[in-house]
Amino acid sequence: MNFIKMMKIQHGAKRKGIRLDNGGELCSNSFKKLCYDKGIIIEFTTPYTPQQNSKAERMNLTLMNKVRTKFAETDQPHALWGEAIRASVYELNRSPTSALQNMTPASVWFGENDLSKVRVFRSQAYMLKLPRESKLEPHAKSKIMVGYSGGGYCLWDPLKGKIIRLRDVTFNESKVGVGNDTAWYRGINFEE
């Protein structure tokens, strides 16, 4: 319902109907009443028939193919699959589609298709290191770009096993993946 409210406020679009699978959280009487009160028609697919939701299932296949490609090209830990799928969605939304007469979903949604933020997945990224303990310390720390976050990027620190979200980042897109000098994945934590 938050998505429906956001669509109305941000884009003036009213939702007339929703097609849902039979997920328990969406079959509740309170959700059905909320939709009924707003005049939204709910259509449930038959259980165990993904072909009734063919567009969503096809999109899932497309996204998973992109994620598998990202894993095949690098030594990325599989625990980063969530970041890989979000990065794939970001890239796909900035690619032309015949469903929109070769426009991009981003240009339809936002009114523009800014590609300046798109980077090579798993490329080397440098974040400004503050505070520095001495003047002789490096000004930047090397991380690995694993996705997009609002107005910035998601960077993976393989030594600490953390995802860091930053805006001001410099990239070396000719260098992809991790080298032998980094520790293997120990778990993933998120920090802002």
| pLDDT one-digit tens code per residue, 62-75 | 999 999 988 886 66
Q: What is the pTM of this model?
A: 0.73
Alpha-carbon span 24 to 43, nearest angstrom: 14
Residues 172 and 118: their CA atoms lie apart, in Å, by 13
Task: Assess whether pLDDT exceeds 50 at residue 182.
Answer: no
Task: Categorize the per-residue pLDDT at 181 as very low, low, confident or very high, splitting at 50, 70 and 90.
Answer: very low
> What would the two tokens of residue 127 be?
């974040």
Rounded Cα gap, residues 188 and 134, in angstroms: 29
Confidence of residue 130 (pLDDT cuts 50, 70, 90): low
How many angstroms separate the CA atoms of 62 and 92, rounded? 9
